[in-house]
């Protein structure tokens, strides 16, 4: 066997925390061949990013390699010091990160940031470095590269920022590129463009790549070999085809099941053993809508213009019945979040009206709406459970707060009972109630957010990307929870998301937004199976599905 470019041998990484040393990576062994793209897949906390950071020597001060070797071109990376290390970083080995906008210095022109990397490793003049930076911007297909050289990160879109990051990473022609969740948080269409670009560049330059991702579909689309990590260990390593058709390890099976495919339903998202309990819920028939019942929510010709510039949302109309679920999809900037916030009455519409249960609420100023008795009927679940919970409130306080403010309850036994009832409803263990957000996992925080929203028994729940920050297995559980709330408590759901797979599963109807206007709407399955407009088709095609059917056919 010829010598591999990178071979990691029994790597152990530990972090020192207040509660002592915690092992994040526990014996990872891995090889990467020249020019190969390897997928490293796992959920948060599996140690996949830590493995990447250990390889590029970018671990936090608290993290330390406690055992094993990382051989890069035969040299042990873990033992490098000073200049030897700097010659490696950014030159022979480079890295791109999740959240590209945060990964770029906000107050330094992007041209300079690319030139920084070049000047660190090559003895050339500043003008020559600038010229190279310009060429790199062309290579990552940024339009008008000359003008963009002086742009700052906040003037660019997320996709553009990630292209700049790629330009920085490839500036010194590295032999190995580690991409840590490079497209998480980007729109599906942008995600595809960025990944295609990355794959093309890697192929053209003969660069080996490790793609670290939680998205099995993404890894399957771009990698020939996938390693699955769980709790600091590699549990399975295989080609995408055999991984999906015949997953060996129990964890891989769970992960594969939880990853939505083009045809999966919510009840499919767990492995067969866990399916029973949920199936009984789904099989219960829903109460038929009585014909002629007035709609729960009616939105008429809603428009929003911010201070200057064109309308963020224009001429948006929709209706929703009680207990119905409607998806609102579109790329970032399409106006879906603005629309949902107007319906929640968190911001004021410029034009149009919102009628909820026969009451016009569009004209109530958003800052006065908290006094309306309808406030408790319309509640919201926010995108990032980490950011949307007050860090100084315990889980109990979070859930109790709306009950005190809107539910007219006083501190006491009744309040405690209601909070516990909500916690049980969302599957949050009661012993977690006295904890603060930082002591809870992502999935637990998401549950607190949902429990808070349902505490006052709302009739409409507006959810803004509620699963975007969650792992697939947690996402599956949260989706099932939301579906149960809708079926059993008759709560209508307005679901804002860029993840079309999720919308297709959860929502009866879907509305596609683009540039603040409705492009297409209809019954979800029909809309996704047979999109009528090019825009919707593009969105649907960009989803990195795991093509299980096709894979199985090929495997047979």
Partner 1 sequence: MLSYILRRIVATLPVMAIVALFVFSLLYIAPGDPAVVIAGDQASPEDVERIRQSLGLDRPFLVQFGGWVWRILHGDLGTSIFTNLPVSAMIGQRLGPTLSLMIVTLLLTIVVAVPLGVVAAWKAGSLIDRVIMGFAVFGFSLPVFVVGYILAYIFALELEWLPVQGYTPLTQGFWPWLENLILPAIALGCVYIALVARITRAAMLEVLQQDYIRTARAKGLGQGGILFIHALKNAAVPIVTVIGIGIALLIGGAVVTESVFAIPGLGRLTIDAILRRDYPVIQGIVLLFSFVYVLVNLMIDVIYTLVDPRIRY
Which residues contribute to the site for partner 1 (CB under 8 A)?
56, 58, 86-91, 94-95, 97, 99, 102-108, 116-117, 120-121, 152, 154, 165, 168-169
Nearer to partner 1, 154 or 301 (CB): 154
- The H or E element that residue 358 is part of is none
Q: How far is the CB of 208 from partner 1 (least distance, A)?
A: 17
Q: Kindly state the tokens that stand for 26.
A: 């526990």
Q: How far is the CB of 89 from partner 1 (least distance, A)?
A: 4
Nearer to partner 1, 93 or 472 (CB): 93
Separation of alpha carbons 474 and 268, rounded Å: 14
Q: How far is the CB of 96 from partner 1 (least distance, A)?
A: 8
Nearer to partner 1, 139 or 472 (CB): 139
Nearer to partner 1, 55 or 444 (CB): 55
Element counts in the chain: helices (H) and strands (E): 21, 20
Nearer to partner 1, 117 or 238 (CB): 117
Q: Kindly state the tokens that stand for 363.
A: 């004209």
Q: How far is the CB of 154 from partner 1 (least distance, A)?
A: 5
Contact 494, 461 (CB under 8 A): yes
Q: How far is the CB of 153 from partner 1 (least distance, A)?
A: 9
Q: How far is the CB of 205 from partner 1 (least distance, A)?
A: 18
Nearer to partner 1, 86 or 537 (CB): 86
Q: How far is the CB of 501 from partner 1 (least distance, A)?
A: 28
Q: How far is the CB of 209 from partner 1 (least distance, A)?
A: 15
Cα torsion angle, 461, 465, 470, 472, sign: positive
Nearer to partner 1, 47 or 90 (CB): 90
In 137-272, DSSP assigns E strands to: 176-180, 208-213, 225-230, 233-238
Nearer to partner 1, 90 or 111 (CB): 90
Show Cβ contacts of residue 247 under 8 Å, excluding neighbours closer than 6 positions: 236, 253, 255, 256
Q: Is 270 left (phi over 0), alpha (psi -120 to 50) or beta?
A: beta
Contact 81, 87 (CB under 8 A): no
Question: Chain centroid to CA 446: how far?
Answer: 13
Three-state SS string over 35-99 comes to: CCEEEEECCCCCCHHHHHHHHHCCCCCCEEEEEEEEEECCEEHHHCCHHHHHHHECCCEEEECCC
Nearer to partner 1, 105 or 360 (CB): 105
Contact 47, 231 (CB under 8 A): yes
Phi/psi of residue 25, each to 5°?
-120, 125
Q: How far is the CB of 202 from partner 1 (least distance, A)?
A: 17
């Amino acid at each position: 066997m010829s010598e591999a470019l990178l071979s990691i041998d029994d790597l152990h990484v530990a972090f020192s925390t207040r509660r002592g040393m915690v092992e994040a990576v526990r014996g990872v062994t891995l090889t990467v061949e020249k020019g190969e793209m390897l997928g490293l897949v796992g959920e948060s906390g599996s140690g996949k990013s830590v493995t990447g950071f250990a390889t590029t020597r970018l671990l936090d001060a608290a993290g330390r390699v406690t055992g094993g070797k990382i051989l890069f071109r035969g040299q042990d990376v873990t033992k490098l010091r000073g200049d030897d290390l700097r010659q490696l970083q950014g030159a022979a080995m480079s890295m791109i990160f999740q959240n590209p906008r945060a990964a770029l210095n906000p107050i330094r022109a992007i041209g300079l940031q690319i030139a920084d990397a070049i000047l660190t490793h090559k003895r050339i003049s500043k003008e020559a470095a600038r010229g190279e930076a310009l060429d790199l911007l062309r290579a990552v297909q940024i339009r008008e590269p000359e003008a963009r050289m002086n742009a700052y990160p906040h003037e660019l879109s997320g996709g553009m920022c990630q292209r700049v990051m790629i330009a920085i990473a490839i500036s010194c022609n590295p032999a190995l590129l580690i991409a840590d969740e490079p497209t998480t948080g980007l729109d599906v269409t942008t995600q595809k463009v960025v990944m295609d670009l990355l794959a093309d560049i890697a192929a053209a330059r003969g660069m080996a790549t490790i793609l670290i991702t939680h998205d099995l579909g993404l890894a399957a689309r771009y990698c020939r070999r996938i390693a699955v990590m769980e709790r600091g260990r590699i549990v399975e390593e295989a080609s995408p085809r055999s991984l999906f058709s015949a997953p060996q390890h129990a964890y891989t099976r769970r992960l594969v099941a939880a990853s939505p495919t083009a045809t999966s339903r919510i009840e499919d998202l767990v492995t067969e053993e866990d399916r029973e309990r949920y199936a009984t819920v789904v099989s219960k028939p829903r109460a038929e809508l009585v014909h002629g019942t007035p709609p729960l929510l009616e939105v008429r010709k809603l428009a929003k213009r911010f201070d200057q510039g064109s309308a963020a949302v224009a001429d948006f109309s929709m209706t929703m019945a009680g207990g119905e679920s409607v998806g609102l999809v579109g790329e970032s900037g399409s106006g879906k979040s603005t629309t949902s916030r107007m319906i929640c009455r968190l911001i004021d519409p410029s034009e149009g009206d919102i009628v909820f249960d026969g009451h016009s609420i569009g004209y109530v100023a958003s800052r006065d709406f908290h006094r309306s008795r309808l406030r408790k009927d319309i509640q919201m679940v926010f995108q990032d459970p980490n950011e949307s919970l007050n860090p100084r409130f315990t889980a109990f306080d979070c859930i109790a707060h709306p009950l005190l403010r809107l539910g007219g309850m006083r501190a006491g036994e009744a309040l405690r009972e209601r909070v516990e009832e909500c916690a049980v409803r969302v599957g949050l263990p009661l012993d977690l109630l006295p904890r603060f957000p930082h002591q809870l996992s992502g999935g637990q925080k998401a549950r607190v957010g949902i429990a808070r929203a349902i505490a006052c028994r709302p009739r409409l729940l507006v959810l803004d990307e509620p699963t975007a920050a969650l792992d697939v297995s947690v996402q599956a559980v949260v989706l099932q929870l939301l579906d149960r709330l809708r079926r059993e408590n008759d709560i209508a759901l307005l679901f804002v998301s860029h993840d079309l797979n999720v919308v297709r599963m959860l929502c009866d109807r879907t509305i596609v937004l683009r540039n603040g206007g409705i492009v297409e709407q209809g019954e979800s399955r029909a809309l996704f199976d047979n999109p009528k407009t090019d825009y919707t088709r593009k969105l649907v095609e960009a989803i990195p599905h795991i093509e299980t059917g096709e894979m199985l056919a090929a495997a047979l």
